[in-house]
Structure 1
Amino acid sequence: MRNYALIVLGLNTVLRISDILLLTWNDVYDFEEKTFKTHVYIKEKKTGKDKKFLLNKNATEGLLKHKRKLGHIIGHCSSHHRIAKYFTPPVKRKISCNYCGFLACS
């Protein structure tokens, strides 16, 4: 699901892969309102320019599928987790966030 979400996001936003890989869940999802943002603001890695882009229905659906697959991991300490980060440990293994130490069982 992660790769699918990244490809759909790239095709629908025309962002460079270097910019997509830097996006965090906090960039695209409003955790207070529990909805995806309609517009995302970034600073392009290559040019340093500020850029605003629309998250259309296809991009939102791709991200939603990925978010559902991650489940309970997203939401506790979401602002620093990149969308591209893998959270696919073997079953019954505890994983922890490198930033905040939050433990989650897969």
Structure 2
Amino acid sequence: MNSVQGLLAASVISIQNSCFVYPACQNCFSRLILDSRRFSCLKCGCTGEAKDASYRYRLSLKIADTNDLFDITVFGSCLDPFFGVTAENLQRWEDFSSEAEEKM
């Protein structure tokens, strides 16, 4: 994977993913495999109860500067100010909303 850091003045053309919160390993930040009761990380082997899974932002964007189009992905808590809430709390709200909808 190429890793380039820098400051770029650009416009967001589109959001590439509809789900931008994922269950993340607290050790290595890889996506966790969740079932109804447990989670596991295929990368580092971390396991635990599904209710204790942590969540992290992953936002994939298509952006444009004056000359080029770029696909970028932004990870982590730097996105908290944009959403106004942590990924953990956004996931809790989504879970709560889904449960409330099922009861109706």
Say whether the fold is shared (TM-score over 0.5): no
TM-score with structure 1 length normalisation? 0.29
Greater length-normalized contact order (CA 8 Å, ≥ 6 residues apart)? 1
TM-score with structure 2 length normalisation? 0.30
The structure with more strand, counted as a fraction of residues: 2
Pair member with larger Rg: 2
